Amino acid sequence: MGKLTIGYGLILVVLGIAGYYGSGQVSKTALIPVALGIPAIICGVLAEAKENLRMHVMHVAVLIGIVGFGGGVPGLIKLFGGDTGAGPMARGALAVISAIFVALCVKSFIDARRRRKAREASE
């Protein structure tokens, strides 16, 4: 999951930079995905490097994903309302990407718990 988290963080950084420069309007709020992406990358690197921290940093990473989803939902609502501007598109993309990341994290947490219980039962 560490590599997936690094990828998620990189996607957010690219989304933020693209939104900042690609919209034609310089808006500091377009960099919000970068503010979420950098900590996600750090969590992914720590999860890969430190076995004893993996569970904790991955829980922080999923929290970052939940915040990203929550912050992006208003953009999705505007998109469905017909506003196809750069802002709603970027926020909608943030919501969708974050929702997918959170779902993959939850699946990973469930799988890890099942493996741990199976290992304990066999001992």
Identity of the residue numbered 18: A
Q: Is the pTM of this model over 0.85?
A: yes
pLDDT at 29: 85
- pLDDT at res. 26: 73
DSSP string, 52-105: GGHHHHHHHHHHHHHHHHHHHHHHHHHHHTT--SHHHHHHHHHHHHHHHHHHHH
The pLDDT, as a whole number, for residue 93 is 93
Mean pLDDT, 10 residues at a time, the chain of 123 residues:
95 92 79 95 95 93 97 90 83 95 95 90 83
According to the model, what pLDDT value does residue 71 have? 93
**Residue 27's pLDDT is what?**
79
Confidence at residue 109, expressed as pLDDT on a 0 to 100 scale: 92
d(CA 3, CA 6): 5
Q: Which residues of 58-75 are buried (b: 16+ CB within 10 A; e: fewer)?
A: bebbbebbebbbebbbeb
